[in-house]
C-alpha cells in the first residue's frame, strides 16, 4: 500500500507545473519600454525583458527609433526606476536575458504598459493566463486611443526591427 501511495504521489508531483524562477531586486536601469536591469541580493545584476509585451523601439546610434519609443521608456522609468520589484521569470531569451512579469507591490507592470498604450501584447510569445488578459488590455487601449494608439497606423516593433535588419 505504501508503494502504491508513494508511486501516485510521485506521479502527481511530476505532473504539476514547475513554478517560475522569481527574482527580487531594485531597478537600477531602464533600457527601453520593455527592458530593465535589476540588482538584488543573491541575483546580482540581471537584465529582465518584460514578458508578453513589446514596446516601440527607442533611438539607438544605428537606428532612428519609433514614435512613442522614448515615451514608453519614460513611463517605465517613472513606474519602476529605483524601486524594489519582483520578476516572475517565464523564460530566457536568445540574449540570455530573463523574460518575466514585473511586479511592483502586486501590480503587473507589463499589463500596465499595455493598458496605457505604451506597448503591444506580444502575441507571438504570449500564452497561458497572460495571453487573454494582455490582448484584452491592448484592445481596450486601442479603442480608447491611448498612447501609441493615437497614431492612426502604428508600426509594431517586430516589423520595425525586421525592416531595420534588411536595411543594413
Active site residues: 49, 57, 97
DSSP-derived pairing of the beta strands 44-50 and 98-104:
parallel
Consecutive H or E run containing 110? helix 109-115
Residues in CB range of 124: below 8 A, 6 or more apart? 158
Helix (H, G, I), strand (E, B) or coil at 143: helix
Distance CA 167, CA 50 (A): 27
Query: Nearest CA to 55 among 113, 134, 94, 138?
Result: 113
Consecutive H or E run containing 166? helix 157-167
Distance CA 71, CA 151 (A): 13
Query: Nearest CA to 122 among 78, 159, 69, 81?
Result: 159
Amino acid at each position: 500500500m505504501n508503494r502504491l501511495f508513494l508511486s501516485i504521489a510521485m506521479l502527481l508531483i511530476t505532473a504539476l507545473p514547475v513554478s517560475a524562477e522569481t527574482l527580487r531586486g531594485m531597478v537600477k536601469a531602464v533600457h527601453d519600454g520593455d527592458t530593465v536591469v535589476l540588482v538584488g541580493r543573491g541575483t546580482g545584476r540581471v537584465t529582465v525583458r518584460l514578458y508578453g509585451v513589446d514596446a516601440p523601439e527607442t533611438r539607438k546610434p544605428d537606428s532612428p527609433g519609433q514614435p512613442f519609443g522614448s515615451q514608453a521608456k519614460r513611463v517605465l522609468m517613472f513606474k519602476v526606476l529605483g524601486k524594489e520589484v519582483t520578476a516572475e521569470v517565464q523564460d530566457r531569451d536568445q540574449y540570455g536575458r530573463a523574460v518575466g512579469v514585473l511586479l511592483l507591490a502586486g501590480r503587473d507592470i507589463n499589463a500596465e504598459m499595455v493598458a496605457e498604450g505604451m506597448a503591444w501584447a506580444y502575441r507571438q510569445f504570449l500564452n497561458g493566463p497572460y495571453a487573454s488578459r494582455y490582448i484584452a488590455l491592448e484592445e481596450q487601449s486601442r479603442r480608447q486611443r491611448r498612447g501609441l494608439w493615437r497614431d492612426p497606423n502604428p508600426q509594431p516593433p517586430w516589423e520595425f526591427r525586421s525592416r531595420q535588419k534588411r536595411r543594413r
